[in-house]
Amino acid sequence: MSIQNSVTKRAAMRLTLLLLFGFVCEISHAIHIKRKNTKYVDYLTRYGYLEASSVRCDHKYCKVNSKTFKNAVISLQHFAHLDATGKLDRKTRHWMSLIRCGIRDVYRSRSKRNSLVLGKWPKRYLTYMITNYPSTKGHHDIDIDSMVSLAFMIWTSPTGIVFAQKEEGPVNIIIKFGSLEQEMGKIRYANTKTDRTSTITINDDIPWETEAPNVPSLFQTLIHEIGHVIGLGHTDVVDAMMYPVYKFGNMIYSLHEDDIRTAQEIYKDKVVSYPNRYQYLKFKRDFEKAFTDFNKDMKDAFGIDIPIPEMPNEFFPEGY
């Protein structure tokens, strides 16, 4: 019995070591991807599914942990509503080849699917300016003005933001038509960048006026990019305005429930906002300080106490 127990213990120990060795091999195993196929790695890193720091490349290969790569592919497949195989199968490669928006789908610091990509405006009155119009004759400037105005109005209801066009001076949002370089070998139809002023660039090389089957709707593109400017990320809801893949021939001119719900969640807090609010509050502070100093001088010199005239805390208490 003792010999049998000893053999059993040794067998169990060997099995444990084999399992442990296999587990270590699994978590440390790396795959080598040839340079000609690194476009898939580039896609996964570009759109947030794979951390760039997890990939090591030389002149021949890109090396990445197999489990990390598989999880990144599965995450993409979940977003695209594909079978979560973890493999770059035909359907997955096809989805990765589709023309899409350049904003990331995944922000790992965020837990929500619709993450705040560009932040949240602290006010509800935003100004915009169109600095460059299309160079082609297909769209007149007044048509672009109307289209842009309607695209902004689409987002007014769920956010409470009032958008106003300006002809000059500082603004919150700039819209312009200009050239855009290809991204990962694909045409870019629009691009949005944000700093103190958010800028939406519409690709002027696209024949927007043709309404060809391989050209997306300019109106739909504007609404999508404005969504990014006011803080919405991408969604995996296929019929939503904030879905990242361009839907050629499938025109969407209104917001999906998913778009509305996300916008309402971002801007659920009531904020008093109106034109020149900052200037009014500054004037109010300066006026009260100056009058307080004047009152002190009068009291010291003549013993006269002059009450400070009351100014409303907000020029438009309910906003504008």
> According to the model, what pLDDT value does residue 12 have?
58
**54 domain-assigned:** yes
Given 228, 247, 266, which residue is the final one in a domain?
Answer: 266
Q: What confidence category does residue 5 fall into, taking pLDDT thresholds of 50, 70 and 90?
A: low
Same domain, 138 and 247: yes
The percent of residues in the chain predicted with pLDDT above 70, rounded, is: 77
Report if residue 119 sits inside a domain: no
Do 157 and 230 belong to one domain?
yes
Instruction: Pick the last residue of a domain from 266, 290, 309.
Output: 266
Look at 35 and 199; give whichever has higher pLDDT.
199
Determine, yes or no, domain membership for 175: yes
pLDDT digits (tens, 9 = 90+) for 169-188: 999 999 999 988 887 667 78
The arrangement of strands across the sheet holding 61-65 comes to 30-34, 61-65, 55-57
Q: What's the mean pLDDT when you consider all of the chain? A: 81
Number of domains in the chain: 3
Secondary structure class of 245 (helix, strand, coil): strand
Give the residue, 283 or 216, on which the prediction is more confident.
216
Same domain, 193 and 232: yes
Write out the E strands in 11-159: 30-34, 55-57, 61-65, 125-132
Q: Has residue 144 got a pLDDT over 90?
A: yes
Question: pLDDT by residue (tens digit) across 9-23?
Answer: 565 565 554 444 443
Residue in 233, 254, 269, 314 with CA at minimum distance from that of residue 124: 269
Mean pLDDT of 193-220: 83
Query: For residue 6, is pLDDT > 60?
Result: no
Q: Do 117 and 105 contact (CB within 8 A), yes or no?
A: no
Q: What pLDDT score was predicted for residue 25?
A: 41
Three-state secondary structure of 4-20: HHHHHHHHHHHHHHHHH
Domain that holds residue 306: 277-320
Q: Are residues 13 and 5 in contact, defined by beta-carbon separation less than 8 angstroms? A: no
